[in-house]
Amino acid sequence: MNDAIKHSHVEVNGVRLHLAEQGEGPLVLLLHGFPESWYSWRHQFAPLAEAGYRVVAPDQRGYARSSQPEDVDAYTLLHLVGDVTALIGALGEERAVVVGHDWGAPVAWATAALRPDLVRGVAGLSVPPVTAGPGPLAAARENFGEGFYQIYFQQPGRADAELAADLRSSFRRILGGISPEGKPRPWVVPEGQGLLDSVPEPERLPDWLTEADIEAFAADYALHGERAFTGGLNWYRNIDRNNELMAAFAGRRIEAPALYVAGEQDLVNAMIAPEVVTYLLEHLTPRLHRHVRLPDTGHWTQQERPAEVTEALLDFLKTLD
């Protein structure tokens, strides 16, 4: 087995996706979230490959080394699921285990729900499976106010410019400054402040994050210049449209074996109560293998707790084999 991560590109659905790959065996796709890239899975490549799996982590549509469609409407959940399904075929495979973190989790859950023929198993980190409901952005505005980050992201160009102005500072603030200490709270921008004003730059990075990691993320994002974050932000700008497009599948269960992993201090817990998460898992994932809760862990699950996440994934993968 080659112990080095290989990099390549593949074109699917008119989008050029960058891939990081290691190992041989059954395919495991790792889907990152916002604002991340393939690099967020850096700790999982070698252990999964050594266990006998072909590990592939794409930079998803609009991110890092992948191409960035201009049209905001090109980032719906159906587009993203389409990229995953096409990628499985482009890799010469018939089926895959699909693992997603943050925004990658909804893509993984939706792929498993809509294309059960392609998905051997599905794992979500941080974000549980959800079902379509009335007006998610309106509900967010009512619950958290106009400064809630998902509402803030709807303004064309505003967050894009703030985040792209200093890439390294943006990554230090978002990855290192959203602390897991204390009770989880939603990301809300106070009135009159900018996005990054609400996340002070940390005096020192957390133990799990290094300056080399910051540089790796920033270097890949720099390829898109002033639009470094625009592709990822466009995912948020389709939240209500996704809800409309997925209405026909509301309540559809995920029949593939499933795994859910989340940190107890994850900010998602401030948006989706733990009892709601439990309800969703019980009703939408009838073949749930485990619900893993990681103490003293924030939102960046596989980076903060690489050993525990890798162990949970390997345990899950063994049950599929």
Domain at 190, CATH number: 3.40.50.1820
Count of structural domains within the chain: 1
Rounded to whole angstroms, the Cα distance separating 241 from 135 reads 10
Does 161 score more than 70 pLDDT?
A: yes
Determine the distance from the C-alpha atom of residue 279 to the mean position of all C-alpha atoms in its chain, rounded to a whole number.
Answer: 21
pLDDT at 69: 98
Rounded percentage of the chain residues whose pLDDT exceeds 70: 98
Reference 121, options 217, 28, 240, 226; nearest CA is 28
Q: Is the residue at 1 inside a domain?
A: no
Catalytic positions? 102, 299
Q: Which residue has the tokens 């023929």?
A: 117
SS3 call for 156? coil
Stretch 115-140: mean pLDDT, rounded? 93
CB distance 153 to 232 below 8 Å: no
The answer to whether position 181 is within a domain reads: yes
- Residue 122 within a domain: yes
**DSSP-H helix ranges across the chain:** 45-50, 77-90, 104-114, 136-144, 149-152, 158-164, 167-177, 211-221, 230-236, 239-245, 274-284, 301-304, 306-320
Structure tokens at 252: 């559809």
Q: Is the residue at 29 inside a domain?
A: yes
For residue 133, what pLDDT band results from cuts at 50, 70 and 90?
Answer: confident
Joined together, the tokens standing for residue 127 give 């974000």
pLDDT at 2 over 60: no
Question: Would 179 be classed as within a structural domain?
Answer: yes
**Which residues form the domain of 210?**
6-320
Q: For position 22, what pLDDT does the model report?
A: 98
How far apart (Å, rounded) are the C-alpha atoms in residues 146 and 188?
8
